[in-house]
Amino acid sequence: MEIILLKDMDKLGDKHQVVKVKPGFGRNFLIPNGIALLANDSNMRKLAELRKQEDARENKKVNEYKAMAEQLNGIVLKIGAKTGASDKIFGSVTNVQLAQALKDQFNLDIQRKKIHLEDEIKTLGTYTATIDFHKDVHTKINFEVVSE
């Protein structure tokens, strides 16, 4: 069964992509939950129009994303964390904390899903994270985990 995805799905495909799935998965889960449409002729024509509109909107946003990436170049975020005796953090630093720190320190509202950490951060130190604003716009930010 071929379907058109309306949302990004991990391990399945990206938004507006035509993918082949098992009939039960498509009929019983994807289509009723509004995640996909059946890939018939009329829906394929609608998909072409939707792609044009989405591309136009995304191209407008790319300039904003590039400006945000330029603003983040060379900055160092400070993330406070509670630590034990050996500079080991209670828990770990996550992309949620990075998104909140960007909002607090630089007044930038970046979705946590766009921030990717390479490893789990469980000790004090300086680290790097990648922010994927758009498929064409990526930047790396440095952040320092300090003791509260």
Work out how many domains the chain is built from and give that number.
Answer: 2
Q: Are residues 94 and 121 in the same domain?
A: yes
Q: How far apart are CA 105 and CA 129, in angstroms?
A: 16
Chain-centroid distance of CA 20 in Å reads 24
Whether 47 and 116 map to the same domain: the answer is no
Q: Which of 44, 67, 90 is the last residue of a domain?
A: 67
Q: Are residues 143 and 73 in the same domain?
A: yes
Same domain as 78, residue 139: yes
Domain boundaries, position 124: 68-147
Is this prediction's pTM over 0.85? Answer: no
3-state secondary structure string across the chain: CEEEECCCECCCECCCCEEECCHHHHHHHHCCCCCEEECCHHHHHHHHHHHHHHHHHHHHHHHHHHHHHHHHCCCEEEEEECECCCCEEEEEECHHHHHHHHHHHHCCCCCHHHEEECCCEEECEEEEEEEECCCCCEEEEEEEEEEC
- Each of the 148 residues of the chain gets a pLDDT tens digit; together they read 999 999 988 889 888 899 999 999 999 999 999 999 999 999 999 999 988 998 888 888 888 888 888 888 888 889 988 888 788 888 889 999 999 998 998 888 888 888 999 888 988 999 999 998 887 888 999 999 998 8
Which of 32, 52, 67 finishes a domain?
67
Residue ending a domain, choose from 40, 67, 94 = 67
The CATH number of the domain holding residue 51 is: 3.40.5.10
Measured between alpha carbons, how far is 62 from 137 in angstroms, rounded to an integer?
7
